[in-house]
Amino acid sequence: MMKKVLVTGISGYVGLHTAAELLKKGYSVRGSVRNLSKTAQLTKAIQNEVEPNGNLEFCELNLLNNDGWKEAMQGCDYVLHIASPYVTTEPKDENELIKPAIEGTQRALRFAKKAGVKRVVLTSSLVAMFEDANKSINITEDTWTNTNAKNMTAYVKSKTLAEKSAWDFIKEQKGENRLELVVINPGGIWGPTLSNKIAGESMNIVKDMITGKMPMLAKAAMNMSDVRDVALIHVKALENEKANGRRFVVASEKPYSFKEMAKILKSNGNKKVSTLEGPNSLLKFMSRFNSDLKAMKPFIGNTYHADVSQTMEVFDWKPISFEKSILDTAACVKQLMNNN
């Protein structure tokens, strides 16, 4: 019998790719959206990759209230909790991000457990593993970001606290039939979108680079992820026995900087791309006035190196090359710019 997976946040960059991957692998998908009016265009986006053949349905959920969660879980074997509040600019009140991130995660786990779901796969982030985001470090599945460090941003805090709250929930379970948890921690995510619009931070960065609107780059490097890899490992994590109770970095084997990214774009015919790195002190000063830079402030001048060997071994997987990710992102951005 076909297994059913609830995918929260199906309309997002990662959500759409993950839904398509699930359908390709023979799962039935129920996707949550904040508003059911979008479902026709979401179905169309997924059809560009795979024909759902009646195995795709939608439900309406909100991270901040209980309405519909019980019904959404009914008949589901697994849950992929991908939905999370995301803003590129730093909000005036950090709780705009932190509250829905934690409450949404707790709801997904609580209702999954009540419904007898076997396993939840949670989308976290490499930024939850940075120890002190202000320093260059080596990251493993045991490292956690210190949310009290200086320059801590609301987004980093929200991802870290939401993931910690998930592990606390799993630890505090009592009785039989315990819910299983696997956490996926991607780095910066690149790659083509399945939707027909330029959405998300990474696509906008590439757009600004290739149109010459980014004259100066931040000095920062981390392991980078391809959205297709992130989707694939979410699906592989559903039934892999060795994955239960663990966190997995899904990213390139080495860190890449924005300068390396700019060089890839420039050497492949994107003449307007600047490869100039801004001085750390200037960028940190500018972050006081620029909300995009403010969110980047802890990372400026640092290199974060994450170990992906465990992920490669457990899932028998090799990351898509960073060059391919970036060039595919640029090709997708150009196509969407021409279409709109």
Q: Helices in the chain by DSSP H: which ranges?
A: 13-24, 39-47, 69-73, 95-114, 154-171, 201-210, 227-236, 258-266, 280-286, 291-296, 309-315, 322-339
Query: Is residue 303 within 8 Å of 255, Cβ to Cβ?
Result: yes
d(CA 59, CA 178) in angstroms, rounded, equals: 26
Query: Is residue 328 within 8 Å of 191, Cβ to Cβ?
Result: yes
| Assigned token pair, 14 | 């990662």
d(CA 272, CA 295) in angstroms, rounded, equals: 25
Question: Is pLDDT at 24 greater than 80 in this prediction?
Answer: yes
Q: How far is CA 266 from the centre of its chain?
A: 26
Q: Does the active-site annotation cover 114?
A: no
| Average pLDDT value for residue range 70-98 | 88
The helix (H) or strand (E) run that includes residue 165 is helix 154-171
pLDDT tens-digit profile of 193-224? 999 888 778 899 999 999 999 998 989 999 99
pLDDT tens-digit profile of 150-178? 888 888 899 999 999 999 999 999 877 89
Predicted TM-score of the model (pTM): 0.95
From the number of C-beta atoms within 10 Å of its C-beta (0-12, 13-18, 19+), residue 122 rates as buried
Q: DSSP secondary-structure letter at 89?
A: S
d(CA 23, CA 19) in angstroms, rounded, equals: 6
From the number of C-beta atoms within 10 Å of its C-beta (0-12, 13-18, 19+), residue 46 rates as buried
pLDDT tens-digit profile of 219-239? 999 999 999 999 999 999 999
Which residues are 32's β-sheet partners?
Answer: 8, 59
Query: Is residue 3 within 8 Å of 78, Cβ to Cβ?
Result: yes
Question: Is pLDDT at 80 greater than 80 in this prediction?
Answer: yes
* Other beta carbons less than 10 A from residue 65's beta carbon: 10
d(CA 258, CA 202) in angstroms, rounded, equals: 11
Question: Is pLDDT at 297 greater than 80 in this prediction?
Answer: no
290: pLDDT confidence band, cut at 50, 70 and 90? Answer: low
3-state secondary structure of 95: helix
d(CA 32, CA 76) in angstroms, rounded, equals: 13
d(CA 11, CA 194) in angstroms, rounded, equals: 10
Question: Is pLDDT at 25 greater than 70 in this prediction?
Answer: yes
135: pLDDT confidence band, cut at 50, 70 and 90? Answer: confident
Catalytic residue (one of 4, 157, 159, 284):
159
pLDDT, mean over the chain: 93
Angle at 46 between CA 43 and CA 52, to 5 degrees: 75
| Average pLDDT value for residue range 258-287 | 90
Question: Is pLDDT at 289 greater than 80 in this prediction?
Answer: no
Q: What pLDDT is recorded for position 155?
A: 87
d(CA 33, CA 15) in angstroms, rounded, equals: 10
Measured CA distances, 237 to 53, 79, 253, 316 (Å): 24, 11, 19, 12
Residue in 109, 22, 26 with CA at minimum distance from that of residue 73: 109
Q: What pLDDT is recorded for position 87?
A: 61
Ordered by where they begin, the domains of the chain are: 4-339 (3.40.50.720)
